[in-house]
Every structure is written in structure tokens, then in C-alpha cells.
Structure 1
Amino acid sequence: MTKPPYRVPSMAEVRAVPWNGFNAISTFSGCGGSSLGYRMAGLRMLWASEFIPAAADTYRANASEHTVLDTRDIRQVTAKDILDTVNLKAGEIDLMDGSPPCAAFSTSGKREAGWGVVKTYSDTRQRVDDLFFEFTRLLGDLQPRTFVAENVAGLVQGTAKGYFKEILAALRRPGYRVSAKLLDAQWLGVPQRRHRLIFVGVREDLAMVPAHPKPLTYRYTVRDAVGDLPGAFDDLQNDPETGQPLTLRGYSVEKLWHELRPGEGHKLRTSLKRLSWDQPCATIVARAGTAGTAAITHPDHPRYPTLAELRRLGGFPDDFVLTGNYYRRWERIGRAVPPVMMARIAETVRDELLVPLRDAGRI
């Protein structure tokens, strides 16, 4: 198959996608990356939940007119709250989405040392390793026809496997057939290497088998994604949107960057990953240029990507609104499921589960 040019639809084009008749709700919605993917696939997002104020600000700036955003702690939300808001009964929601915070299971973090501990997460202090069970609580009470849940690959690695088994059992307990697969965004139309564990479930009474998208036969590179942007090849000093510096901070970090070849990474105080024009982008992490985090940098110049470049590399529309300073906007993209990736997942659930059920008159 010939590789088509890399292009993410504009927000206006996404808003113009006709409704396919299926509804969805979203928990742990972040800035709306997953929600945008469902909208690209024609689903209508009726309700979303996001507790972090900065993320909720971005979600609100891009939300569909049909979406009600709930900013309470998910622990305070009941199924009745949701059903009353969307005017549906238990069992009538077509798809429930959720991306519980994954920092507790990431291989780049402290993992089990932080389990059961209240600690800093984005703009809050809270325990996050138990939040997947808030998703399963609502799942059991809402009984949606299908669900999609997402987490980091680290959930099935090392000591976290015990948590994975508990989560899988909890997802199946309310009466669901569940399949979990590691998917890589670079094979689903996103110019970024990003492994995510994707759970897909379908209610047992519907007698269907969960489905995951098949990988494409091609990948997009950094050049494919950002090569046509103004300033893409330049040594820009400041981000055009925020005016904040893009240059690497500290002589030792910049010196190290010059020693790296494009496509290489190295750990110092900060983990640097110098991008290559001819490869997909390395994983965009939540925090740029701080101790213990991986900062992606421009292939040719010792600078961070612009926000315009980050949107492209993260599978977001060029006109997706990001709020806050440069680093807050980077964080929103780093924590999000790439919309283009979620669109592929949503299309698969739509075409292989929901449409056949509707055509058979079973929903």
C-alpha cells in the first residue's frame, strides 16, 4: 500500500464528521486526546470526567457542544450522576472510555515504590495506582455495551503484572469479554513510537468477541509530520505561540546534545533523545527538560520542539487549543492518547462490534 501524506484533520473537519448514531462517555479524559479520536470516528461524546484543572481547561477549549465535562474527583462520581446527565439507562451507553493515570506503572518512574502512596500528580496530590478500580466500579454500574481502557506498557512488565491480573479480573467481573493488547502508535498512523496497553471489552450478553485494530504497513517519520511547518528546520530560540525559550537549559546538556547523533538518546541529569528526520518521534513524555524525564529535541538544532511540532508528532490537529505555558501545553500532549491512534481503535470497535450489533437489531 502506498503511504498517503501525513495529515490530521482540522478541528473544523472533526466537528463536521457526521454522527454515526453511537454514543460514548469518557473517564480520566485528560486534555481530550481520546475523546477527539472518538469524534474522528463519528461517535458522540456525551459526558467526560477530568479532575486536573489545567487538563480540564484544555478539554473545555476543544469540547464538542454535546459533551458535559465533570471536574469532580472520580471517586465522588456515581453511575446515577452520569446516567441522569446523559438521559440514558444502565446498559444503553454504547462505549465507555477510560485512561486512568499511568505514572504508577510506567517503567520510567519509581513503580512499586509509589504504590499505595499519596504523591504529586500533575497539579494535585493523590494516590493514583488504585484509580483503575474506579473505572471498573462505574463499568459495573453503567453496563455499557463496549468499553476501551488504556494504560502504559509497564502494566504488563515486572512486578506490575500482579496489578494487571487484578485489573483484568475486575474488568471481566461485571460480565464482559475482555482482550488486552500492546499497541504501538507508530503502526496506527501516528509519527511517534508510543506503546500503550489497550483493553477492549464487550458485554457478555451481546455474544461478540473484542477486536483490536490491525497495524498499518507503513510508518510516518518526523520529516513526514513536521517538514512543511514554518521554522521546522530553523534554530528557533523561542516558541512562536508562548514566547518561551526552546533552547536546552545548561551548558552540559547542550554539550551532550552535540555529541549525540540523530536518533540517539543519552542519560545525564535529563534524558535527551535527539530526534531523527527519517524515523518516528520517540515517545513524548509528560514533562520536558526536568530531572529524570526524557526530553525530545530537534534533529538539527539544540532546541525543544515547538508546540506546532508537538501537535503534529502527537497526532493532534494543528488548531487544537492548548492552554497554559509552554511546559503545561507539552504536558497535555505527553499525557494524552494520540487522537489518531484512538480513532483507529474507535473505528475498529465501531465497525466490528457496534455496527454488526445494530445491523442485527440487537441494539
Structure 2
Amino acid sequence: MGYKLAGYDVLGNVEIDPQMMALYKRNQNPRFSFQIPIQEFKEIPDDELPAELFDLDILDGSPPCSVFSIAGKREKKWGKEHHFREGQAKQKLDDLFFDFLDVVEKLRPRVVVAENVRGMIIGLAKGYVALVKRRFEQLGYRVQLFLLNSATMGVPQKRERIFFIAHRKDLQLPKLVLQFHERPVLYKEVRSGRGRPLDPNTLTYKRWLNRRPRDDSFGDITKRINGKVSNFNSILVKDDRVPNTIASNSCFIRYDEPYYISDMDIIRIQTFPRDYDFMGADVQYVCGMSVPPLMMKGIASAIYDQWLSIA
């Protein structure tokens, strides 16, 4: 959606998840879709693929990144097979970035964009980033790494993500400059309706009653009351703040009333279109696993202005 907002045509996609593929087809209507693991896609003979997929202006990918998230015991997950999502085949998630780079080698796009979590540039994961950069170089691409916050790009959300952005060396393009200074968009500007009410008989409700103006999450409440942090992924959403990252596994509860935020809040915070057809899928999951379209629009527009318009 972000690329379309920036004026691009989206030709196709590769997707392993049947539900996500159905959503993509319903809302994006791509010309070429492959509902297969990327490991299978990269083995398709070149002469069996549409000619339009070679020498693309941009090949974009977001290899699943949960093993690099700073939440949880991430290092213990490296090198092991996991179900990224229920119903999918087990895969080594930390290998998927290199499977994506194999597709780069196969299709030889002019520009490559790959998004991932901030955790990739923290601690031991920095070694993984070095390997990714080296692979880009071996493939004949000059790569830059950007840490961007969507709150500076017109998105009402403090979502930090890293972007590997590379171009083929034969294009001899200048360094890309990404600088965004949009004003912060506060929660009260997108707030709409109500989500579920908190159950007065639950511990969550009792903790909510003990909130203080300085508290940003239920972890702050439990630390003050119990002396240790728990329930940290339950976020207090305040009218005069930019909302936190919409994550698929977090709870977002309004500070000023005992209600979860609404689905329309989530859609607006993620800058999805109001008429997006979720086809019964969980709104928070779909939005939480996505790059905000306005964030991607800013990046895609800068790539066109600084690179593709002169290449």
C-alpha cells in the first residue's frame, strides 16, 4: 500500500501463509502471486517466471524477524526450526533473510529494500547484520542501513524499524539520504469508538485502577505495587502521546477509561485505509505484522526521487 501511495505499480508477491495471501489478493490484486515458501520460489527455473519479475525497479522483502526481537530469549532461538505462525511449516527463521537474498541474486532488481526489527542491530545480532551486508556486496549491491521511527513520518505510532536499502553497483547512484521531520500525531487525533471494556473482576482492571500519570504500561504499575515488572506488554494509551508500536501480541488499554482501544484505532494508528477488508482476520495481528503504509510511502518516494528518477 505504501508503494502504491508513492505511485508505484505492485506486480506480485510470494507468501507462505494462506490467510495473509487471501488478504493480499483481496486488497492489492497483484498480477503475479506465489503461495509457496520462498525456498521453493527461488528454485523455479527462470524461464518459468514472468519476464516482468526480472530487473525490477524495487524488490521488497520483510523476512520474519521474531528471532531477533529484543523481547524474549532470542539467542536461544537462533539456528533452530520454529513455526513462525500456527499452520505454517517449520523453518529456520534466521535463514530466511539469506533465502530472500538468493531471490535478489535470481531476479537482479535495480533496488532492494528489506525491513526488520531494531533488535537486529543490538548485541550479538550485529554479527548477523555483518553477514547480510557482506552477502549484498558479493551480489554486486551497495547497501545502506537505516534505523527509522515512523513517528517522524506522519504515522501516529512510535514504531522503530531498520531498513536495508541497496542498489546495483552498475547504476553508480549516490548515497541515499532519508530524513523525515513530520510533526508527531497524537492518539487523540485518531481516537475512535471503544474496544472491549475491562472486566471489573480481573487483575487487569484492579491494576488499571492503580495507574498513575507517569505509568506508560502495566509493567510500571506492577513494579511500583509489587516491586517487580510483569504484564509489561499491556500498554497504557494516552491522548496526549504518540501511541507505542502496534505489536501483534500486546494489549492496548486507554489510560482515561477502562477500555481497550478499538479496531478502528489500530487501523488508524497503522495508517491502513478505512475500507481495508480484513476478511475476518484479527485486525491487530494483521496491522502488527505490517509496515505502516505511510512509513513505506516516505521511503519509496525518497528512493524514486534520489535514485530511480535519475538512473
Length, aligned pairs only:
298
Q: 2:255 is aligned with what amino acid? A: P
TM-score normalised according to structure 2 size: 0.89
Specify the SS of the correspondent of 1:279.
coil
Q: 2:68 is aligned with what amino acid? A: F
Find the partner of 2:271 among 308, 315, 334: 315
Counterpart of 2:79? 116
Specify the SS of the correspondent of 1:200.
strand
Query: Does the CA-based 8 Å contact 1:105-1:160 persist in structure 2?
Result: yes
Per-residue deviation at 1:69? 2.0
Moved over 3 A (4+): 79-86, 246-250
Per-residue deviation at 1:188? 0.9
Kindly indicate whether residue 255 of structure 2 is the aligned counterpart of residue 271 of structure 1: no
Provide closer, same or farther for how the CA distance between residues 210 and 47 of structure 1 changes in structure 2, counting only shifts above 3 A. Answer: farther
| Cα RMSD, aligned residues only | 2.1
Structure 2 gap ranges (5+): 220-229
Specify the SS of the correspondent of 1:51.
coil
Kindly indicate whether residue 3 of structure 2 is the aligned counterpart of residue 52 of structure 1: no
- Inter-partner Cα distance in structure 1 for 2:53 and 2:246: 39
Query: Does the CA-based 8 Å contact 1:177-1:210 persist in structure 2?
Result: no
Query: Does the CA-based 8 Å contact 1:98-1:149 persist in structure 2?
Result: yes
Provide closer, same or farther for how the CA distance between residues 47 and 82 of structure 1 changes in structure 2, counting only shifts above 3 A. Answer: farther
Kindly indicate whether residue 168 of structure 2 is the aligned counterpart of residue 203 of structure 1: yes
Per-residue deviation at 1:86? 3.4
Kindly indicate whether residue 90 of structure 2 is the aligned counterpart of residue 138 of structure 1: no
Query: Does the CA-based 8 Å contact 1:37-1:339 persist in structure 2?
Result: yes
**Residue deviations 1:1-30 (CA, integer Å, cap 9, x gap):** xxxxxxxxxxxxxxxxxxxxxxxxxxxxxx
Percent identity of paired positions between Structure 1 and Structure 2: 30
Counterpart of 1:86? 50
Query: Does the CA-based 8 Å contact 1:47-1:68 persist in structure 2?
Result: yes
Q: 2:272 is aligned with what amino acid? A: F
Q: Superposition pairs for residues 1-363 of structure 1, below 5 Å? A: 36-64=1-29, 66-78=30-42, 84-88=48-52, 90=54, 92-123=55-86, 124=88, 125-226=90-191, 229=192, 231=193, 234=194, 236-237=195-196, 247=198, 251-261=202-212, 264-267=216-219, 268-269=230-231, 271-287=233-249, 294-325=250-281, 328-357=282-311
Specify the SS of the correspondent of 1:214.
coil
The worse-fitting range, judged by mean Cα deviation, of 155-164 and 72-81 is 72-81
Per-residue deviation at 1:306? 1.7
Query: Does the CA-based 8 Å contact 1:181-1:197 persist in structure 2?
Result: yes
Q: 2:107 is aligned with what amino acid? A: L
Counterpart of 1:242? none
Provide closer, same or farther for how the CA distance between residues 329 and 249 of structure 1 changes in structure 2, counting only shifts above 3 A. Answer: farther
Query: Does the CA-based 8 Å contact 2:12-2:32 persist in structure 1?
Result: yes
TM-score normalised according to structure 1 size: 0.77
Query: Does the CA-based 8 Å contact 1:188-1:340 persist in structure 2?
Result: yes
- Inter-partner Cα distance in structure 1 for 2:121 and 2:270: 24
Query: Does the CA-based 8 Å contact 1:46-1:86 persist in structure 2?
Result: no
- Inter-partner Cα distance in structure 1 for 2:146 and 2:111: 16
Provide closer, same or farther for how the CA distance between residues 107 and 89 of structure 1 changes in structure 2, counting only shifts above 3 A. Answer: closer
Q: 2:82 is aligned with what amino acid? A: K
- Inter-partner Cα distance in structure 2 for 1:189 and 1:110: 33
Query: Does the CA-based 8 Å contact 2:266-2:283 persist in structure 1?
Result: no
Q: 1:114 is aligned with what amino acid? A: K
Per-residue deviation at 1:99? 0.3
Query: Does the CA-based 8 Å contact 2:217-2:232 persist in structure 1?
Result: no
Per-residue deviation at 1:78? 2.3
